[in-house]
Amino acid sequence: MGKLEGKVAVITAATSGMALATARLFVEEGAYVFITGRRKEKLEEAVKLIGRNVSGVQGDAANLADLDRLYQTVQREKGRIDILFASAGQGEFATLQEVTEEHFDKTFGVNVRGTLFTVQKALPLFQDDGSIILNGSIAGVKGFPSFGVYSASKAAVRSFARTWLVELKERGIRVNVLSPGTIDTPALDQLGADKQSFKAAIPRGEMGRPEEIATVALFLASSDSSFVNGVELFVDGGTAQI
């Protein structure tokens, strides 16, 4: 029997990278998973790759109408949520001098506003003793040039967890933050990042793999972490510790 046998999970922005790897692992461990993505073709590819016990719902985590449609689908098909991985996020490089209103609004719109309402709108379907996992980043505690707005947005996500675990304690719902370091994903390629520089900053000497994030998400989603609540768990090869 898998660690998530019979559980219902929702994972946002799960068409590639860490979230897709997590969705695949959750299904392998017995969960039924709802995944979201903005692009229909990518979403369909992800559903096909996962293969079973999965539903894809097209939508943007920063769009409240899309979130309503997501949870209406979950309610109609399964009627409950046991696990939520609010994974949707985005970041772009911009120095302090280069930051624009559009850059700020886009980053905070997805990373902060989107995370807030993804969780809020899930609560009516949430089972007691469930698990909420928020997608953080080591950028929330480190100073990376040209990444100030993104870093601030992830610090806000970390703050949400501290408040929400107290607000949800009567229901036994745990809230934790999974904060990746540099993971070799398509999103990193889109940033145009210098991978060699990133590798040099990681004590392990190599970037993480999406599957290494998925196994930690499984830990936070399952009863293995029943006494873990409100933590920020860095999965980064040690980068945040130096």
Domain assignment of residue 3, yes or no: no
Domain assignment of residue 119, yes or no: yes
Please tell me the distance from the alpha carbon of residue 215 to that of residue 14, in angstroms, as a whole number: 15
Active site residue 71: no
Domain assignment of residue 1, yes or no: no
Per the structure, the complete domain to which residue 142 belongs is given by 8-241
Q: 151: which 2 tokens?
A: 């870093």
Q: Which long-range contacts (CB under 8 A, 24 or more apart) does 49-55 make?
A: 49/20, 49/24, 50/20, 50/23, 50/24, 51/27, 52/27, 53/27, 54/23, 54/27
Domain assignment of residue 90, yes or no: yes
What average pLDDT score do residues 32-55 get?
97
Total tally of structural domains belonging to the chain: 1
Catalytic member of 150, 160, 164, 234: 150
Q: The domain spanning residue 111 has which CATH number?
A: 3.40.50.720
pLDDT in tens, 184-233: 887 777 666 667 777 878 888 889 999 999 999 999 999 999 999 999 99
Domain assignment of residue 64, yes or no: yes
Domain assignment of residue 26, yes or no: yes
Element (H, E) at 76: helix 64-77
Domain assignment of residue 46, yes or no: yes
pTM of the model: 0.95
Domain assignment of residue 224, yes or no: yes
Q: What pLDDT is stored for residue 1 in this prediction?
A: 85
pLDDT band, residue 160 (cuts 50/70/90): very high
- pLDDT tops 70 at residue 88: yes
pLDDT in tens, 119-148: 999 999 999 999 999 999 999 999 889 999
